[in-house]
Each structure stands twice: as structure tokens, then as C-alpha cells.
Amino acid sequence: MSKILIVEDEEKIARFVELELTHEGYEVDKAVDGREGLEMAEENEYDLILLDIMLPKLNGMEVLRRLRKTSQLPVILLTARDAVMDKVTGLDAGADDYITKPFSIEELLARIRLALRKRQANAMPLLSCGDLVMDIARHTVSYKGENIELTGREFSLLQTLLENQSIVLSRDILMERVWGYDYMGETNLVDVYIRYLRSKIDDRFKTKFIHTIRGVGYTLKLEDENA
């Protein structure tokens, strides 16, 4: 469950947004001025902050500037209507998005989902072995920048191999990780899919990432680590 901090001094707006977000399944905290908002943001783990700009004690822009010194937490600014300067300054100061008051709750929810998705995508690491690179969030694989088209199963087999580089994985383990415990198929499915991967990667690029360890299973490693 994502946790959201609302920093908003207008009680009616804060209450309305809190109710709607709670109803959507978010966990919500509220702060009524900039100083309290900054303190709460620094002391707690939030997934996103909704930050009003016109706030008592410390304005939203200042809260954002201070926050950005230590945190890349997604921030959506709540700006007054037609405050163009606010938007530009806000984005420059490191806000992820802004929404103009009065806003519809549907629009706010859409912005929140987008910001959370972006954060998730950025948090997902790239897996790589030499020039072979897998981007899990974007579901892409490339070799020296050249795209490699994989099916879902090939992708998850390659992901398992990349996550366990230089470790020999038995057919049973690969079967379990890629096809699942309950799969009642033949373990030679693994061999079939290893062949697909080889033809799409090693054969195509004249590389040798995938190694067969006779009688044991498979491993993925850089060629020069080859024993």
C-alpha cells in the first residue's frame, strides 16, 4: 500500500483529498503547514507527497527545495489557478508534476498513479552481463544497443540466468523459477528454451553468454570468465 503525505493548509481540500485517497486504498498523513510537512517528510517513509505551494510558515517551493537536497521522493505540487510562474519554478525545483486547483479527484488520482509508476520504473535495476542488458521495467533486452525480441518465457528464463550470473542452475531449478512449482511438464522444456535464447543471442551476435554444464545445467557468464 502506498503512503501519501498531503501538505495543505486548506482544511476542506485536505480532508476531501484524504477521504478520496483513503477510499482508493492509500495510506494518508496530513500536515497543515510547510514546516510540519518538511519534518514529516524527513521523519517518515512516504511514496509520494502532495504539496500545496501557498502554505504558512514555509511555502511549498521552499519545502521542495529543502526536500530535494536529500530525497528524490515524487512530489506533485498543488498550484493556484493560472499561476504559471509557480509551475515553471516548481518543475525547475524538482517537482515531478503539478495540478491546478480546483482539480477533479479523477485527475489527481491519475497523476498520482503516473508518478508512482514512474518511481517504480526508476527503482527497477538494469540487469547486465557485459554488453547484454535487460531493462526489467521496460521489458527490453539488448546487445550493444541492438534490440533482442524475446517471448515472455524467454525473457524470464534470461532474467533468471542474469540474476544468477556465473552460478550453475540445474534444469529443475530453472523449471521451478521460470515455469513455477506446479508445472508438470518435461524438464527438457528448459533445453528447448535455452536453444531459443542461444539462437537469439549467442548465434546472432557470435557471443558466448550461455554455457552448458554437462550433467548439471546452465550458467550465464562473460566469455572471458570461461574456465
Nearest residue (CB) to Ca ion, 9 versus 96: 9
The verdict on whether omega for the bond into residue 125 sits within 30 degrees of 0, i.e. cis, is no
Q: Please, which of residues 105-124 interact with Ca ion by CB under 5 A?
A: none
**What's at 221, amino acid-wise?**
K
Q: How far apart are CA 221 and CA 94, in angstroms?
A: 39
Q: Please, which of residues 133-162 interact with Ca ion by CB under 5 A?
A: none
40 binds Ca ion (CB under 5 A): no
36 binds Ca ion (CB under 5 A): no
Give percent helix, percent strand, percent coil of the chain, each to the nearest 5: 45, 20, 35
Nearest residue (CB) to Ca ion, 65 versus 101: 101
Q: How far is the CB of 101 from Ca ion (least distance, A)?
A: 9
CA angle 194, 172, 220 (to 5 degrees): 40
47 binds Ca ion (CB under 5 A): no
Only segment of 14-22, 54-62, 112-120, 191-199 that touches Ca ion (CB under 5 A): 54-62
**What's at 83, amino acid-wise?**
A
13 binds Ca ion (CB under 5 A): no
Task: State the alpha helices, DSSP H only, in 24-170.
Answer: 34-43, 60-68, 84-92, 105-123, 152-163
Only segment of 50-58, 84-92, 108-116, 161-169 that touches Ca ion (CB under 5 A): 50-58
9 binds Ca ion (CB under 5 A): yes
52 binds Ca ion (CB under 5 A): yes
The sign of the dihedral angle between the CA atoms of 37, 42, 43, 44 is: positive
Site of interaction with Ca ion (CB under 5 A): 9, 52, 54
